Structure 1
Amino acid sequence: MPRPVSDRIMTMRLPLSKDNFATIISVYDKHPTMTNPDENKEAFYQQLASVLSGISRTDKLLLIGDFNARIGRENDKWPLVMGKHGIGKCNSNGELLLALCSEFELIVTNTMSSRRMTARRPGCILVPDTGI
Structure 2
Amino acid sequence: MTVQRKPRPSVPSSSGQSKVGNGLTGEGAEGAKNLWKKNKSCQQKLNICTYNTRTLVGEDKLIDLENELEHINWDIVGLSEIKRRGEELVELRSRSMFYYKGRDNDSNSGVGFLVNKNIKDKTISYRNSGDRIAQIIIQLTERYRLQIIQVYAPTTNHDEEEVIELYEEVYKLIEEEKTHFKIVMGDFNAQVGKKDDEKETSVGNFGYKKRNERGDLLVDFAEANKLK
TM (normalized to structure 2)? 0.43
Alignment counterpart, residue 39 of structure 1, candidates 136, 161, 164: 161
For the aligned residue pairs, the C-alpha RMSD in angstroms reads 1.5
Mapped partners of 2:141, 2:127: distance in 1: 21
Correspondence for 1:50: 172
Q: What is the 5 A alignment of 1:34-113?
A: 34-56=156-178, 58-76=179-197, 79-107=200-228
Query: Counterpart amino acid of 2:227?
Result: L
Mapped partners of 1:12, 1:97: distance in 2: 21
Q: How far 1:75 sits from its partner (Å)?
A: 3.2
Alignment counterpart, residue 11 of structure 1, candidates 131, 135, 142: 135
Mapped partners of 2:177, 2:218: distance in 1: 18
Unaligned 5+ runs, structure 1: 108-132
Correspondence for 2:27: none
| Identical-residue share of aligned pairs (%) | 26
TM (normalized to structure 1)? 0.72
Mapped partners of 1:98, 1:65: distance in 2: 14
Q: How far 1:77 sits from its partner (Å)?
A: 5.2
Q: Secondary structure at the match of 1:36?
A: coil
Query: Counterpart amino acid of 2:225?
Result: F
Residue correspondences, number: 104
Q: Rg larger in 1 or in 2?
A: 2
Query: Counterpart amino acid of 2:158?
Result: N
Unaligned 5+ runs, structure 2: 1-124
Mapped partners of 1:76, 1:66: distance in 2: 23
After TM superposition, what 4+ stretches of structure 1 lie above 4 angstroms from structure 2? none
Query: Counterpart amino acid of 1:47?
Result: E
